[in-house]
Amino acid sequence: MKPPSGQSIRLACLLLNLASLCLPTPLWENRDSLLEEEKAHQTGGNLLLSKEEQQLSTKLVSLKKKEVAAAMNTGQFPPSMHFFRAKSLIDQSAVFSILKHMPKGAILHLHDYAMLSVDWLVYNATYLPDCYVCFTRTGTVRFRFSRPHSPHPVPAQCSEWVLLETYRKQLHNVTEFDNSLMRNLTLVTDAPELAYPSQTFIWKRFEEVFLIASGLICYAPVFKAYFYQGLLELYEDNVQYAEIRAILPPVYELDGTRHNKSWSVATYREVTRRFVEEHPDFLGAKIIFTVHRMLNVSQIKEAVVTAMALRARFPDTLAGFDLVGNEDEGHSLWELKDALTIPSSLGFNLPYFFHAGETDWQGTSVDKNVLDALLLNTSRIGHGLALIKHPIAKNLSLKRDIPVEVCPISNQVLLLVSDLRSHPAASLMAEGHPIVISPDDPSVFGAKGVSYDFYEVFMGLGGMDADLRTLKQLALNSIKYSAMLPDEKAKAKEVWQKKWDQFVAELSDSFLREL
């Protein structure tokens, strides 16, 4: 074989040089600037922190990295685990202990009969005089207060009513019985995958929990005390304001007298005012009237008219209207448009706060709720997991500055997402889309307040780049996107800022050194 000639070698070199001109070269010189640009887009990315805040942020992120590293060794990272299994690990977290102390601003997505830990209901409400219980064939219970006779009628598929005071005296183990009552009032279980094999199954149980609780909470004395204690539990979790979704069912007295919706709203207002008087650094609460989305169009029309009347009578308390229930099985917003356009056709301002996109399905009529909610001028989008699948709706939400109410623990427990690192809101946070963090139904999930949800967001959804700016922005968002009036928001921000500065100072001085 002949060695290549000089001409052949020169030709080969020429071809190699030409080929190199055609091949793209790595653009490493742009990497740092692109990463910085991406970081600036994320939630809180444009916030400027004080020197003290920056130092605290560095320490907080260091704690996060330490916990993540430990989780990689054990294989137990709470945001990737079902909350019922992760809760005990979260309770031991140094990051979580900091988040509990953090002033969080407002909770904007919270349901009326799931805002207070169930142990209060069991150890307070069920021990009141004249409390009756009956037992269903499926092992659940119903409650009712009554005097001088036992309640009437007996619910379908239920035993005869028995006075709880009498029943407890007959028991050998009252503690175990009370624990069983608490299990009736939550979804908490050691084996959630076995207990709740499908969304349909867990939603049926979920709605039964509210039915069970309503027998206690709808008793007028308990109704008032429950709401007060619920506000107290939020206050103790460093929440400064709340907006409550409330169905406003009839509240009853011991003699069977039933109060209407106006009475309930007036009572919410009265209890809120009393709570604020006794806790001046709590800024109040408003009610979002809700009805079940399984109702037909004529029933929804009636509910909308009722909402208009309540808002006209209680403009400082009734913030607006929403639809609740399993979105996949209920009517879509499009199907209810004739009812939902009544206020605008009459020139009446009834703000909407629609649950929309609380679904994994794509291309269904319900999946389009995120767009229709925006077209109906919703003030916020509840859950909104489907939003990232609809770029037009997402852009419209961003353009109009309509936030998504993100409820991570609820979404996981109700089988919409298993690993919270993969939650759709992680994408929204990376883009700096407006969001607020809320607990939805904390008592049903065995949680308290919103600190657990903030933990899941900070450790899971926000990834390793989430820092103190992220948390601060989320708290500020909650005030900005609330239904408070401008002067109320100004006061809320002032109160929150003072608490935030104190939080930063105390943590910088001592708290982190004690961990």
By the 8 A CB rule, do 355 and 322 touch?
A: yes
Calpha distance 264→290 (Å, rounded):
13
SS3 of 297-323: the string is HHHHHHHHHHHHHHHHHCCCCEEEEEE
Q: For the purposes of burial, counting CB atoms within 10 Å of the CB of 195, is it exposed (0-12), middle (13-18) or buried (19 or more)?
A: middle
Q: Rounded distance, CA 58 to CA 80, Å? A: 24
Pairing of strands 285-292, 241-246: parallel
Q: How far apart are CA 152 and CA 160, in angstroms?
A: 10
> Cα(408)–Cα(454) distance, rounded to whole angstroms?
9
By C-alpha distance, which of 370, 421, 409 is closest to 391?
370
Beta strands in 228-377 (DSSP E): 241-246, 251-252, 258-259, 285-292, 318-324, 355-356
The answer to whether 177 touches 162, Cβ cutoff 8 Å, is no
Residue owning tokens 């992760």: 86
Distance CA 289, CA 307 (A): 7
Contact 168, 178 (CB under 8 A): no
Q: Count H helices and E strands in the chain, helices first.
A: 23, 13
Structure tokens at 124: 């307070």
- Give the pairing type, strands 131-135 and 162-163: antiparallel
What CA–CA distance (Å, rounded) separates 83 from 408? 10
Which residues are catalytic, by number? 358, 383
Cα-Cα-Cα-Cα dihedral sign, residues 473, 475, 478, 480: negative
Structure tokens at 481: 């996107």
Query: Do 438 and 108 meet the contact criterion of CB atoms below 8 Å apart?
Result: yes
